[in-house]
Structure 1
């Protein structure tokens, strides 16, 4: 279950269609938000709670402009440290109006392996200046070019929430552009229509459902291996993510007091 929580949540989300993001002009991301997620490993009817992730949002000044600051802390449960341990810290700062990234930083510790990544985004030059270092490699600095809109692994989750899904019909495929582990790539996402999920209070909550196409993967199982549910309300929070892996699946649920929370079902 490598990168248990954040590989699933943080690599599959920023959408663009022919380079033109279909954002909803009536929707604005919260300027202050705290969300908590529980991650489970599921094999048949067996559920094992394996990790947690905490998301927070606030605003700051960056490069003399107003910016969002998104922060995530994710970790595996300590009782499983003898089998597997993971701790992730992600931070992304983006332009407040466009969500174009300004700076991204990741610190990841998996077992005894540590990885540190920093990206600086130069919008005017369409460049990403990268600094990468890890337990197993010397520090490396390099610059890569890109075209059009781009996101990092974390800001992409928030950018997704700004989309106008009313312009999509079931089966429509859109593509996202993002940078992950020093590589810029695109990947298709399929709009799967409207759905409902049961909250912990057994209330049916309307959802928007998406599927991420994962081809030629040795970790994920099936061509549409990742499914995502967004609350269909004024917040559009990610409520559930399900990823089919080689053996079993990983399921991530929103779990927050005072919000409509979800659990294994």
Structure 2
């Protein structure tokens, strides 16, 4: 009796998994802003700008493949003040010869209670493109979605807005308000996130404080968090994303690392502008 062979991963699919992880592991699989007992002060200001280098590690080889930039601002929408978050990712020109990525994540949330209002995700990998757009209706507890994948017909849907659910990008900022100091090492916290037109229940585990050194030689005291992500063809099952946040009032992600089946990927802070508090976590 013949056994079925497991389908081989194409080079294109492997590259897609690698570069997607490199450029947006900072905005994919993170933490719900409705995790309770958080700081009453936001850890960031309008005008903050964080830049990350995206690195792929395979055997002994490190490849600097791209860059991710996060910016924060405030706007008026329907006469209401909102936070406006933007994350853009791109491969460098040298890597574009192998595979080009130009991605954008954009989110609007209520300025006071951080409730999500709108989220759009534009993904352009090689010759393929995908658009995800979500509008949150707090009065009816519903989420209206619009999805367009390459040449497929647009897809519209209406989802029930489950409690404590937010979009990918706003969770990045909301989690920075989390009071890690109140957690004991090994503490597990559940969270909920909207991913690809579905609400997913996940968790993170606190691993205490550690020192982290960046590739430009700076060293920080950090809170280490291990996150449960969704499994798939390229991500192994279980907890496979590690994030280190500065152990100060800014709680800036210094380093993000995750394992994939063809190695590991890292996003490491390279530059920061207009942060709110003194960077007391840095070790001189």
- For CA contacts below 8 A with separation 6 or more, give which structure has more relative contact order: 2
- The CA deviation at 1:13 is 1.6
Indicate the residue corresponding to 1:263 in structure 2: none
Deviation of 1:187 after TM superposition, in Å, equals: 0.8
The alpha carbon displacement at 1:8 in A equals: 1.3
* Residue of structure 1 equivalent to 2:36: 21
Q: Pick from 83, 99, 123 the counterpart of residue 108 of structure 1.
A: 123
Counterpart of 2:14? none
| Change in 2 beyond 3 A, CA 1:114/1:216 | closer
Distance 1:202 1:72 in 2: 25
Alignment of 1:187-198 (within 5 A): 187-198=202-213
State whether residues 15 and 174 of structure 1, in contact with CA within 8 Å, keep that contact through their aligned partners in structure 2.
Answer: no
Q: What is residue 183 of structure 2 aligned with on the other side?
A: 168
Return the alpha-carbon distance in structure 2 between the equivalents of residues 214 and 132 of structure 1.
22
Distance 1:116 1:15 in 2: 22
The answer to whether the 8 A contact 1:113-1:136 is kept is: no
Kept in 1: contact 2:24–2:89 (CA 8 A): no
1:91 counterpart residue number: 106
* Residues 202, 39 of structure 1: alpha-carbon distance in 2 compared, 3 angstrom cutoff: closer
Distance 2:71 2:35 in 1: 27
Look up the match of 1:81. 96
Aligned partner of residue 153 in structure 2, secondary structure: strand
Match of 1:212? 227
Q: Which runs of 4+ in 1 moved over 4 A?
A: 199-203, 257-260
Deviations 1:200-222 (Å, cap 9, x if unpaired)?
56453110110012464331235
Helix, strand or coil at the partner of 1:144:
strand
Aligned to 2:75: 60
SS at match of 1:4: helix
Q: How does the TM-score come out when normalised to structure 2?
A: 0.84
Compared CA separation, residues 26 and 216, structure 1 to 2 (3 A): closer
Farther-moved stretch of structure 1 (106-115 vs 197-206): 197-206
| Greater C-alpha radius of gyration | 2
Conserved? CA contact 1:15–1:21, under 8 Å = no
How many angstroms apart in 2 are the aligned matches of 1:15 and 1:36? 22
**C-alpha distance in 1, partners of 2:269/2:133?**
28
1:174 Cα offset (Å): 1.0
1:3–1:203: structure 2 CA closer, same or farther, 3 Å change rule?
A: closer
Q: Does structure 1 residue 251 correspond to structure 2 residue 232?
A: no
CA-CA distance at 1:257 after TM superposition: 5.9
Cα distance between partner residues in 2 of 1:48 and 1:136: 32
Task: Report how far residue 118 of structure 1 moved.
Answer: 1.1
Question: Offset at 1:82?
Answer: 3.3
Question: Take 2:235 and 2:35, find their aligned partners in 1: how far apart are those partners?
Answer: 29
Measure, in 2, the Cα distance between the counterparts of 1:82 and 1:118: 30
Shift of 1:2: 4.4
Unpaired segments of 5 or more residues in structure 2?
1-17, 280-284
TM-score w.r.t. the length of structure 1 is 0.90
